[in-house]
Amino acid sequence: MSHVRLVNVTKRFGSVTAVNALNLEIDKGECFSMLGPSGCGKTTTLRMVAGFEDLSEGEIHVGGRLISSREKNWYLPPEKRDFGMVFQAFAVWPHMTVRENVAFPLRVRGLPAAEIESRAKDALASTNLLSAADESPADLSGGGKQRVALARALAINPDVMLLDEPLSSLDPHLREEMRFEIRDLQRKYGFSIIYVTHDQAEAMALSDRILVMKEGVVQQIDTPLAVYSNPVNRFVFSFIGLSNFLDVVRAGDRLAFPDGGELPLTSPLRDARLSLASRPSEIDFCEPGKGDLNGIVSRRSFLGEIIDCRIKTGGGELRVQKGRRAPAPDVGKSCGLKLLRPFWYAETEATKSG
Amino acid sequence: MSGISRKRGFGAAQIILFLSIAILVVVVAVPVLLIFFNAFWVNGTFNVRDVLRIIGEPDTWQALVNSLIIAAGTTIGSTIVGTFFAWLVTRTDLPCRRFMKGMFMVPFMLPSFIGALAWKMLLSPRAGFINRFFMVHFGLSGPIFNIYSYAGIMLVEVMYLFPFVFIQVCGALERMDPTLEESARISGAGLFTITRKITIPLVLPSILSGALLIMLYSMAHFGTVAVLGIENGIFNIPTLIYQRIHQSAGSFASIRTGTVLATVLVVTAAFIIWLQGKILSKGHYQIIAGKSFRPMELKLRALRLPLFLFCTVWIGFTILLPTAVIFLVGGLKTYGLAFTWENLSLDNYKFILFRYRVTRDAIWNSVTLGLAAALITMFAGVMISWVIVKMKVRGKGILEFLGMLPFSVPGSVIALGVILAWSGKYGVNLYNTVWIILVAYIARYMAFSLRANSAALEQVHDSLVEAARVSGATMWQALKDIVLPLVRPGMLAAFFLIFLPALRELTVSIMLYAPTTRTIGVAIYTLNEDGETVMSAALAGIALIIIVTGQLLVDRFIGRKNAG
């Protein structure tokens, strides 16, 4: 039984459709990420779930309860939804101590003082903030502030936790640490997470499922592994991980590059114009003439763990990444390339699957 | 920068530094120090007893108390009004909010002594139009409101000073990260709780800082109290200083009383500024947003229309009614006639602009003084700011202190100091000439220029000049092609920040004018004192036109600059 259910949710700002007919079901205890470039509608979707934005169409149910509906003109105000939410810019209140921040949601619910005390303490302990409880959050680091925001969201022990790019204001190493903390807290408390981010690594590391969005339209909803290994279209392929694209035209049964040169590969698609997609790490070097493609090394950079090469081919430039111990040809040398897992996408329609 | 060029620039740097210190010492420090000196130093001895005696005199003591009462009342009233309106236009669904916001800032432009003049015409106990209307039509035996009272003075000051709080609080509410309130909402708090527990505490520093600004202004404010208080014997510190010196034509005793009162004013002002700094540094939260959606709006529902009407009435009473009265009275043949077409004409305006010596001189004086003060202060300000911001020399802290000093020195104090310094005692006698007013204006407005120019110069990072030098430009070329274009907006801002207020200046000029050196403000005030109410109103009307046109031109000009 799904816990959060979005039915045909649409949001328009004037003539712009920010979110278009979104249908979504999120299970209890699931960590669900919404991923996409800025302006794709992911934050708007989260704010509709939170109750800060009205809907232009559709309904939202949480735990069997209708919380937003355009048709019935029914909106439960945000303060009645009992969610936890963490914002990008921390949004901790600088005029209260850390403890007062965390106790605030309990206090406005009119709980007895002893319960407020113990539950705030619990939330503070879960986020390692007990020692800083009486400090001003303004004196804490970015990571500390975000912990306060997390503790505050945890305090009421919500069923649903809404996270709006909570880590993007933090330093990279801290970001990685906090990912795991959020995941641990979820295991402990059992809430569902709806997580908005534009950082694909973050989404993959955290989530049970990922939704990829572009211009208000859902592109793919699946597990991180499935999204990475089977992107449904060119956009998803390019958005998740590093990517190469080569444009290809079909001439009868044969495939060729637009500016000449044949391609010995076959494609399951019958379209006239195609895109050949590949990951830089899924290309092997071989003797010239023995692989799928031939090219000349135009650039080679040593990046520590990996060697990053640019190969000029008949159809354009390809990026190839090899481990530092693997052999890689020098600049100016010609080489053969073997595509380990090529993907084909129809050029004409970027959102169609291949 | 290479060692060679550094050595060559050393002499020039020294000259600039010396010049900057000299300007500030002569223009700002000497007059202020002379006030303290004259207050405490009698016949070659340091004398505190005498100072206390003067403060203890019934008149001076009453003026001190009055200043405090009026300032306190005005501050409390303005803070409540300003905060309420700011909240209304930024956080609710009040109709026409943008328009309302613009209108609430208009009183900023209007000189409050002209407002006081208008309210005197409306609500003076016997002749005020409103009072007379009620007495004639409703048979009231007395006035419904006497503007010549503490309440009247405070009311008029609130009307024209509340924008100080309004603008500060509006700014804070608009810049505030909406997620601070949203996170309270998702935590379960309703809008009322959020306003009380989150919004108000977060903007409290802005409220207090605006309130202290009003306190500072009201303590040292001359115009309103002079127009409305003197009739009933209500004096505050600036009006008493003026009255004493004016009556005795600058006798020693009056100047001494003046310096003592001025000292009290400076000390109070310094305390207020210190308090403001303390509040701002301690309570200045980082509440500025990253990415932001619109903040939440409170639906006023049933209160929406009544509150809209209230705002409209407020704007009508503070802006439209006084302005209309000024222009109408300015068109009357004689004060006291009814407003009928036969009695109204443009003759007064023509007379004032083209034939009447006093007002023609006044307009000419104000414009030339304003231009001269703005130009001189702008250029001096750039130079001094350069020393403060860019030069790594010792002693620039003194410059900063001296430059910002006039912020805490009220206008009447500057005027008094300038009289002490420039009336022949030290070799130069500028008294009774326009030059003494010019010197006072420069002292008064230097801080404005320093602030605008320092802000602009802070933006010009050293590396920009260094990049020009590396590209082969000489120091002079770098200044001309890199620094100057970047600083020009700051200089322009400084110019207008000085020119427009100088046009309507009253507090300083009233202490320094001679028969031929009246400014617009002085002319309006003295014409009114002499019973030439109609002429006074006509000149006030012309002043309003000049001020509003000037302000609109500046807004347009600077607004377009920012957009482009």
Q: Which domain holds residue B268?
A: 57-287+309-345
Tens digit of each residue's pLDDT (9 = 90 or more) over A157-215: 999 999 999 988 888 888 888 888 899 999 999 999 999 998 898 999 999 999 999 99
Nearest to B291 among A83, A84, A88 (CB): A88
In Å, how far is B201's CA from the nearest CA of chain A? 7
Q: Does B353 touch chain A (CB under 8 A)?
A: no
Q: Is the pLDDT of residue B2 over 50?
A: no
The bridge status of strand A262-263 relative to strand A254-256 is: antiparallel
Q: Does A52 touch chain B (CB under 8 A)?
A: yes
Mean pLDDT of chain A: 89
pLDDT average, residue stretch A262-284: 84
Are B68 and B211 members of one domain? yes
| Contact call for A109 and B289, based on CB within 8 A | no
pLDDT average, residue stretch B37-45: 80
Are B120 and B214 members of one domain? yes
Mean pLDDT of chain B: 85
Mean pLDDT is lowest, of A90-104, A124-138, A240-254, B392-406, for B392-406
CATH class for the region spanning A2-234? alpha beta
Alpha-carbon Rg for chain B, nearest whole angstrom, is 25
Q: Does B494 touch chain A (CB under 8 A)?
A: no
Contacts of B185 in chain A (CB under 8 A): 52, 77-79
Nearest to A93 among B180, B190, B204 (CB): B180
pLDDT average, residue stretch B130-142: 84
| Contact call for A82 and B188, based on CB within 8 A | yes
Report if residue B38 sits inside a domain. yes
Write down the pLDDT at residue B151: 93
Tens digit of each residue's pLDDT (9 = 90 or more) over A286-317: 888 888 888 899 999 988 889 999 999 888 88
Write down the pLDDT at residue A192: 94
CATH code (residue B324): 1.10.3720.10
- The terminus-to-terminus CA distance of chain B in angstroms comes to 34
Residue type, B335: Y
Q: Does A84 touch chain B (CB under 8 A)?
A: yes
In chain A, residues 147-166 whose CB comes closer than 8 Å to chain B: 149, 152-153, 156, 162
How many interchain CB pairs under 8 A, A with B?
Answer: 82
Q: Is the pLDDT of residue B564 over 70?
A: no
Report if residue B472 sits inside a domain. yes
Nearest to A89 among B190, B201, B290 (CB): B290
Q: Which tops the pLDDT comparison, B560 or B403?
A: B403
Tens digit of each residue's pLDDT (9 = 90 or more) over B345-389: 888 888 888 888 888 899 999 999 999 999 999 999 888 888 888
Write down the pLDDT at residue B320: 93
In Å, how far is A328's CA from the nearest CA of chain B? 41
Mean pLDDT is lowest, of A94-98, B2-6, B509-513, for B2-6
Q: Which tops the pLDDT comparison, A1 or B495?
A: B495
Are B208 and B269 members of one domain? yes
Q: Does A97 touch chain B (CB under 8 A)?
A: no
Q: Is the pLDDT of residue B249 over 80?
A: no
pLDDT average, residue stretch A254-272: 77
| Contact call for B177 and A47, based on CB within 8 A | no
Tens digit of each residue's pLDDT (9 = 90 or more) over A145-158: 999 999 999 999 99
Are B384 and B261 members of one domain? no
pLDDT average, residue stretch A35-42: 91
pLDDT average, residue stretch A259-273: 77
- Phi, psi for residue B341 in degrees, rounded to 5: -60, -35
Nearest to B186 among A50, A53, A92 (CB): A50
Write down the pLDDT at residue B285: 61
Contacts of A169 in chain B (CB under 8 A): 290
- Where do the structural domains in chain A lie, given as residue ranges? 2-234, 242-346
Report if residue B353 sits inside a domain. no
pLDDT average, residue stretch B535-548: 92
- Phi, psi for residue A221 in degrees, rounded to 5: -125, 120
Contacts of A87 in chain B (CB under 8 A): 179, 182-183
pLDDT average, residue stretch A272-297: 88
Q: Provide the pLDDT confidence category of residue B435 given band limits of 50, 70 and 90.
A: very high
Q: Does A189 touch chain B (CB under 8 A)?
A: no
Q: Is the pLDDT of residue A354 over 50?
A: no
Q: Which of A96, A112, A86 is nearest to A104 (CA)?
A: A96
Fold of A242-346: OB fold (Dihydrolipoamide Acetyltransferase, E2P) (2.40.50)
In chain B, residues 39-78 whose CB comes closer than 8 Å to chain A: none
Write down the pLDDT at residue B282: 66
| Contact call for A88 and B179, based on CB within 8 A | yes
Q: Which of B87, B85, B75 is nearest to B203 (CA)?
A: B87
Q: Yes or no: say if B349 and B415 are a contact pair by the CB < 8 Å rule.
A: no
pLDDT average, residue stretch A83-100: 89
Q: Which residues, including other chains, have CB under 8 Å from residue B124's CB and lie 6 or more apart?
A: B131, B146, B147, B148, B231
Q: Provide the pLDDT confidence category of residue B110 given band limits of 50, 70 and 90.
A: confident
- Phi, psi for residue B391 in degrees, rounded to 5: -85, 135
Are B371 and B481 members of one domain? yes
Report if residue B529 sits inside a domain. no
Write down the pLDDT at residue A28: 92
Q: Is the pLDDT of residue B6 over 70?
A: no
Q: Yes or no: say if B119 and B96 are a contact pair by the CB < 8 Å rule.
A: no
Q: Does B203 touch chain A (CB under 8 A)?
A: no
| Contact call for B189 and A108, based on CB within 8 A | yes
* Token digits of residue B45: 């001895």
Q: Which tops the pLDDT comparison, A11 or B550?
A: A11
Burial classification of residue B117, based on how many CB atoms lie within 10 Å of its CB (0-12 exposed, 13-18 middle, 19 or more buried): buried
Q: Does B294 touch chain A (CB under 8 A)?
A: no
Tens digit of each residue's pLDDT (9 = 90 or more) over B178-225: 888 889 999 999 888 998 899 888 888 889 888 988 998 898 889 999
Report if residue B73 sits inside a domain. yes
Tell me the CA distances in angstroms from B291 to A91, A297, B294, B313, B386, one per residue in order.
12, 43, 10, 37, 35
Are B82 and B201 members of one domain? yes
Q: Does B291 touch chain A (CB under 8 A)?
A: yes
Question: What is A88-125 written as a DSSP string?
Answer: TT----TTS-HHHHHHHHHHHTT--HHHHHHHHHHHHH
Q: Yes or no: say if B184 and B194 are a contact pair by the CB < 8 Å rule.
A: yes
Q: Count the domains in chain B.
A: 2
Mean pLDDT is lowest, of B26-35, B216-225, B275-284, B549-558, for B275-284
Nearest to A79 among B177, B190, B287 (CB): B190
| Contact call for B188 and A52, based on CB within 8 A | no
Q: Does A48 touch chain B (CB under 8 A)?
A: no
Are B484 and B562 members of one domain? yes
Contacts of B177 in chain A (CB under 8 A): 89, 91
Nearest to B180 among A83, A91, A138 (CB): A91
